Structure 1
């Protein structure tokens, strides 16, 4: 009994390191997260499993307190509170489903993994180990998802050393032969470095500057230019006419983020702009909880906040291509990308506005996560972030 606290501390320390390294923003380090199921299974009790889960999740999401403080221009208190609240679902699920019965443990972990991949628990289902499938099984698609699921189950059984050996071998082979996601001809993702002003400064000068940036990347045959989340600010008829006029004489299409006001809040959207005008392509399925998605406001008869559509519009069509769109927070979750992959899209477009993550690894983690999914399903990937 005296060794139990020591074991919990040791497992918690290893779990913390697993979350820290695995979710450092380097896609090739994502398989480190696969140590978490092993550490969870070795916990000497339900409380120990909760401590192991907390250590892993808090380390993986360590950039949240600083990011929230920057977003709200406050001290770390709100960020620390949100950090702990966000971890609660991950910790509770893994603590409740832990079992000392080795026979049932694989089923228990499979249920925990499924719960953290889907709403409602999956709303804060960051740092899911299954994301590593794209590194270990590049190009395998749904077979890779199945293989990774089998690997996760193997990691919580008595044969976990053999499972680690097999997965480590695949990891080494993948690292030695790694190549980034493919690109599609005529498509370009553009990164911006406009800080907090993007989406807030919506004056004519800012739009002219963005238009000039888009023109710099327009090719002779037109093509598609992708700009970050919130690039256009509020989506209005005036903005549409301005951009349509600016694109006159080209065959280019610009995809850009914007906000569409509604009677009870707003939608975080992607807009397609051509010389003929613009149209909304996509409404974000899962905005950031707290800062954007605030469902509790409706309970008190208040309006405001971004709407969540959860399972709406998993793919969009543009210029003959089927596109899997992922806006910012959706890149950290499991179900949005897997729902999109069910429709076998031609490519993935991932955008974000990460100015508030300065000094953290959040944007790097987003990029690593979506890169892994793109490699798993062998899909071209186009990224566009503002920092």
Structure 2
């Protein structure tokens, strides 16, 4: 394939000769209106009507029992792990092929990751790899699952829905049930993705979304903790608001808490973005289809949604024939002003996680050396008359 044709093809999708970013936010709705309303109200911090509205919009869209807005996705994941019972010195199974925030949330609470391989179909945590690691390295006693080599407790499993493609959730839930582990979904990239008709982030007791500037909708910075049970959501909202007990004037906090609440200013942006979410999803799926057709019959394999899922296609990606082809694609496209990026370096290659326990990472290493992410902002194309769901 002539890689210059790829850059030309991408420019055709966006109808511009300007620099094309990997994923840019789109503000074409009520963003400015709602922000002005917030400023005029003076409620720009963590108390305000838009915070409650944004949480309700996410609850309605995802089907979760309770959504709790946070300052960013890492804070949401940190709170989710805390609510799931993860504590200092615990071990948590996750994937090595992920963005560093997944593991940073563990370090913040004094826990450590165990890295298992990903599935070649979903690019996310592989249930078979998790089961294999546990069978060889873990046991169960009256206190739960433990790591044989160290005696430390294994408390949870964190799959990350890579690029928005849902992992095999039923199979992971079965593994978690067998070993007595909590499932905490890192759904940061998967707002608008469905596993067998059910939204991601609603399978684990606790999950986390991200609304960073490069996500499918943005609040500038922000996240959301999803809770499968309403009573857990009330507890989560309490602890993320410094665990302050409501009172007309007294300051009383009944347990250690986090100052993680999302400001009303950011929530206003989120409410406006939610009004455009279904259009964004339709445009992104149309773009993915264009990419799929472009790469058909070439030596590059376009990454498609698993057969059991409906993906938001947050980031479109291709698997190159080898590392040399990957590097050439990156060089040619970026030189042409079209941003492309390799997938993340595996977490155990980073200095702070180099000594982490890990299983066989064959698929992770293969993908690390070959995957390239492509521009994935929603093209400004008409989606009228269509629906998403």
**Do these two structures clear the TM 0.5 threshold for a shared fold by scoring above it?**
no
Relative contact order, higher structure (CA 8 A, sep 6+): 2
Structure-1-length-normalised TM-score: 0.29
